[in-house]
A and B are shown apart, each in its own frame.
Chain A
Amino acid sequence: MLGYVKCDEGELLVKHQRLYRAVYCGLCHSIRVTGMHALLPFHNYDFVFLALFRMLVTGEPLSLERDRCFLHPFRKGKQRLCHNPTLAYTAFAALVLTVEKMRDDLLDSDVSFSRRCMIRLTLPRLIRALRRYEKNESQMKGLSEKVAALLAEGRELEKASAELDILCENFARCLSLLFSFGTSGKEARLLSGMGDLLGRYLYTLDALDDREKDLKSGAFNPVLKNGVLPSDKALCQMDLVLSFMLGEMKKILDLVEGEPNLLAICENIIGRGLPATAHPILNPERGDKNERPV
């Protein structure tokens, strides 16, 4: 999810930090268990939020075990979440979005030669893993096609230089689908609502983050009006809109009754992590862009 969804670890309790890392390690383990090894180089903390929020809403029981890291076999074993249906689904959702992002990059003229080569080498393996998983898990069928259709629609809208809100809507529908796929009733509504808001938030943030790069390259960016960077007033307005979205996400989180530790981490991501990521993007001269919360 574009590398913006992280927690502010400095504000987490130690037990929550451990759980957060345990979910990350659990997701890595689930990627291997489900035969998606090709996805491992692209595994990051972004999808941990999807796993955490889905577990929180669906009430998936947490079960931890101690295990050595696959990539660091000589280090002391750490706690990780045991493989469960939510982690398996999250791994699959990450695979779907990674495949579609790579396909999107191949169509993008700005992508460097080295990245293009890397994608050409990796994409076939990822697609094979995707097809294999879909074949084994019939209930997952249809998700990748729907996501691909939505992202293709987004590309068409970008070509037609659509407004920011319309483009946000498209990505919001995509994340809403990824968050709520396979659920129903109240759970689906909460998951879908969170995915929708997060999609809008991330698309806006990504457009803002790329504004200078796109201005130089001449690529389309919805925040550039007539080839000019947004003014300070426009940036303040966007800051307000982003804060409003965070407030709405917090309201959805308030409606969820679940495991308190998971809730605390999700609150940290929404209340601290996302604003910490947005701050240097909105205030480039005041914040270090390379500063990362995790």
Chain B
Amino acid sequence: MRDPYSVLGVSPQASEDEIKKAYRTLAKKYHPDNYANTEFSDIAGEKMKEINEAYDEILRRRAEGSSTAQNQAGQGTAYQNARVRQLIAAGRLGEAEVILDGEQNRDAEWHYLKGLCAMYRRSYHDAAGFFATAHQMAPNNGEYANMYRRFQGAQQNYGSFGGGTYRKMDACDICSNLICLDCLCECMGGDLISCC
């Protein structure tokens, strides 16, 4: 299954209202009634099914996330995931980082949240490292994988543009350039390389 957030076209940090709004917009767009009596009704049906599944998956994940946080808070051992997420969403990165830094249990979620803080601070190298670790620790988590792929994708895109533009200089280039320069100097009455 594709990342449910990308199916709905929202960010993983989106609020419940935003997710509901995106779901309603898409459901309206791909509603079977819109494609009734057309040859594309089956394709639209598949799309609608995918949207419904994505929405259900997001709701399930969020419900799981909040219950986990509540359990952990009850035990008094875990850090406050939901609180940190809220702080990051509100742009209060300093407070979020204070909570994260005081945490002893550094699991995939911790690395992911640290990565988000670093990303919003534009420390992209740090962020890439945190996201890679989070993805490595929990490879089945779509949210971590999505963020990890974002960095990977960006690297590939810009790599391909830059790669073809510049060519490294090799020994033949250096020799031919020196010979050309020597010829030019000799034309002007001088000599750059006396042996040739």
In the complex, A252→B35 CA distance in Å? 10
A255 close to chain B: CB less than 8 A: yes
Chain B residues with CB under 8 A of A193: 39-40
Residue tally, chain A, CB below 8 Å to B: 12
Task: Decide: B40 and A189 in contact? CB cutoff 8 A.
Answer: yes
CB neighbors of B among A248-263 (8 A): 248, 251-252, 254-255
CB neighbors of A among B108-132 (8 A): none
Chain B residues with CB under 8 A of A63: 160
A288 close to chain B: CB less than 8 A: no
B47 close to chain A: CB less than 8 A: yes
In the complex, A111→B30 CA distance in Å? 47
Task: Decide: A255 and B164 in contact? CB cutoff 8 A.
Answer: no
B-side interface size class: 10 to 19
A65 close to chain B: CB less than 8 A: yes
B43 close to chain A: CB less than 8 A: yes
Task: Decide: A255 and B39 in contact? CB cutoff 8 A.
Answer: no
Q: How far is the CB of B26 from chain A (nearest CB, A)?
A: 9
In the complex, A189→B30 CA distance in Å? 17
CB neighbors of A among B1-47 (8 A): 29-30, 34-35, 38-40, 43-44, 47
Q: How far is the CB of A77 from chain B (nearest CB, A)?
A: 12
Task: Decide: B164 and A65 in contact? CB cutoff 8 A.
Answer: yes
In the complex, A251→B29 CA distance in Å? 8
Task: Decide: B43 and A251 in contact? CB cutoff 8 A.
Answer: no
Task: Decide: A251 and B35 in contact? CB cutoff 8 A.
Answer: yes
Task: Decide: A254 and B164 in contact? CB cutoff 8 A.
Answer: no
Task: Decide: A255 and B43 in contact? CB cutoff 8 A.
Answer: yes
Chain A residues with CB under 8 A of B29: 254
Chain B residues with CB under 8 A of A65: 164
In the complex, A252→B164 CA distance in Å? 36
Nearest-CB residue, chain A, relative to B165? A66
Nearest-CB residue, chain B, relative to A192? B39
A68 close to chain B: CB less than 8 A: no
CB neighbors of B among A7-65 (8 A): 63-65
Nearest-CB residue, chain B, relative to A196? B39
Q: How far is the CB of B40 from chain A (nearest CB, A)?
A: 6
Chain A residues with CB under 8 A of B40: 189-190, 193, 251-252, 255
Task: Decide: A189 and B43 in contact? CB cutoff 8 A.
Answer: yes
In the complex, A190→B30 CA distance in Å? 15
Nearest-CB residue, chain A, relative to B2? A257
Chain A residues with CB under 8 A of B43: 186, 189-190, 255
Chain A residues with CB under 8 A of B164: 65
Nearest-CB residue, chain B, relative to A65? B164
Chain B residues with CB under 8 A of A254: 29-30
CB neighbors of B among A171-186 (8 A): 186
Q: How far is the CB of B19 from chain A (nearest CB, A)?
A: 20
Chain A residues with CB under 8 A of B44: 251, 255
Chain A residues with CB under 8 A of B161: 64
In the complex, A254→B34 CA distance in Å? 11
In the complex, A124→B73 CA distance in Å? 82
Q: How far is the CB of B38 from chain A (nearest CB, A)?
A: 8
In the complex, A203→B195 CA distance in Å? 77
Q: How far is the CB of A87 from chain B (nearest CB, A)?
A: 19
In the complex, A64→B165 CA distance in Å? 12
Chain A residues with CB under 8 A of B39: 189, 193
In the complex, A102→B39 CA distance in Å? 34
- What are 24 pairs between A and B in contact, CB < 8 Å? A63-B160, A64-B161, A65-B164, A186-B43, A189-B39, A189-B40, A189-B43, A190-B40, A190-B43, A193-B39, A193-B40, A248-B38, A251-B34, A251-B35, A251-B38, A251-B40, A251-B44, A252-B40, A254-B29, A254-B30, A255-B40, A255-B43, A255-B44, A255-B47
A-B interface, 9 closest residue pairs, ranked by CB to CB distance from nearest: A255-B43, A254-B29, A255-B40, A255-B44, A186-B43, A255-B47, A193-B40, A251-B34, A252-B40
7 other contacts beyond A193-B39, A248-B38, A254-B30, with CB at 8 A cut-off?
A: A186-B43, A189-B39, A189-B40, A189-B43, A190-B40, A193-B40, A251-B35
Residues in chain A within 8 A of chain B (CB atoms): 63-65, 186, 189-190, 193, 248, 251-252, 254-255
